[in-house]
Chain A
């Protein structure tokens, strides 16, 4: 699995969403987006749902959000996030 990581914590709205969509457009079945953001990106998660993309998100103890999105619906994103954080 190849990870495409973006850290958007210090970018102002709406640049993070634009960056994320650009990455999503370049994903293949073996890659996924890993986005590190400072707030829950509701429009992005909603877009992933509408486009039937696989997504998983998690808020850590610092209040940062970790969002994983893949075009491959069989990809286990929660395990990938767990591996990242271990």
Chain B
């Protein structure tokens, strides 16, 4: 099957699939803000209960839900892959994953072994299920684009992350021996942060930056080889901390190239999404040297990078998918994309997002500000929840009140 750069009606996922995953992700974001305010600056100590809770609340609760929501939408566009029965599959992912996060959080905070076991089963089964299905479809492709190839490598990384995560949960609960615990822990977060999250963003950017912002394409050498080089470099995380230097250099080159591409747009375009991309990529660059200078800045910068890109994708996907489903059903007078999510609202959210990042950075100087950072995080994700509910309401109202055009 030839990958295509467009979404056909047959391949488009049901609106509820994407909106459902985004909505649960946004609710976890609201909870994350509350928990940041509760734990305070303890979250910057990697070995604290607060840090483990918040890290997993963001990486599993927020990022995984948003990334799988985006994957359901982007797979047909980028790889020409259509998942059969997407609603059933997304539900098999959504519920166990959501409950898995909750059990994980209780496990970490109350430290009861059987909660870890339940969390490992729920998270492990749901994630291995969905990863296997998507990987199977991607591996069937005979003509890969750099994006589809990168997605494949990113999903293999996620499979490794999940396997190692389940091992660690079972080791903590005493089911298996924790003999390689420390080594596995390093590989778990290395593949999680760089092999899965960063690589997926990079892979998708190879296609969407050019498509969304009409920029020149990425250099072939980068789009063709970067995902694999990154994946292989992380293998060395088990052997030497030097791997981080190489990964850092590669990521700085990637982020700088993308920022440069965004200055080479064929038309002036200054919507919020392009600024979310610029902000995210700038913080990716900042996060690399910060690891060696003052790690808490690196944690905040890396989080700012990922969340900024998730918001950029959200503001592109939700209005388009809502409008696209309505138009394809014959509602040609359906609200336009800018009426589903107003660009002004997106811009206001961008400002709130910037304020949130500044508050996190300020809390490194004045610890009490972390409470404001938590509140701001919750408000930011409430904004996302509001947009989802609003889009869903517009969709329903248009179907109920507007006339379909028949020819």
Contact = CB atoms under 8 A, between A and B. Distances in A.
27 contacts: A10-B214, A10-B267, A11-B267, A12-B265, A14-B323, A14-B324, A17-B324, A18-B336, A18-B337, A22-B336, A24-B332, A25-B332, A25-B333, A25-B405, A42-B4, A42-B7, A42-B8, A43-B6, A43-B7, A43-B8, A43-B9, A43-B328, A46-B9, A47-B9, A50-B9, A51-B330, A51-B407
B328 A50 contact: yes
B181 interface: no
A17 B265 CA distance: 19
Given A21-B332, A25-B332, A12 B8 contact: no
Interface string A37-50: 01111110011001
A13 interface: yes
A12 B211 contact: yes
Nearest to A40: B6
Interface in A1-45: 10-14, 17-18, 21-22, 24-25, 38-43
A43 B211 CA distance: 14
Interface residues of B, number: 28
Interface in B1-48: 4-10
A41 B8 CA distance: 9
A42 B328 CA distance: 12
Interface residues of A, number: 25
Contacts of A53: 407
B212 interface: yes
Interface of B: 4-10, 211-214, 265-267, 269, 316, 320, 323-324, 327-328, 330, 332-333, 336-337, 405, 407
Contacts of B330: 51
A43 B269 contact: no
Contacts, number: 64
A47 B6 contact: no
Given A10-B267, A47-B9, 17 more contacts: A12-B265, A12-B267, A13-B211, A14-B316, A14-B323, A14-B324, A17-B324, A18-B323, A25-B332, A25-B405, A39-B6, A41-B6, A42-B5, A46-B8, A46-B9, A51-B407, A71-B407
A2 B336 CA distance: 25
Question: What 6 pairs across the A-B complex have the smallest Cβ distances?
Answer: A42-B6, A25-B332, A46-B8, A14-B320, A46-B9, A10-B266
Contact of A21 (B6, B7, B266, B327): B327
B5 A39 contact: yes
A11 B214 contact: yes
B269 A14 contact: no
A12 B9 contact: no
A24 B266 CA distance: 26
A22 B328 CA distance: 13
Contacts of B407: 51-53, 71, 73
A12 B261 CA distance: 14
A47 B337 contact: no
A13 B320 CA distance: 9
B140 to A, nearest CB: 20
Interface centre among B211, B267, B327, B333 (most CB of A within 10 A): B327
Contacts of B323: 14, 18
Nearest to A25: B332
B202 to A, nearest CB: 19
Contacts of B320: 14
Nearest to B267: A10
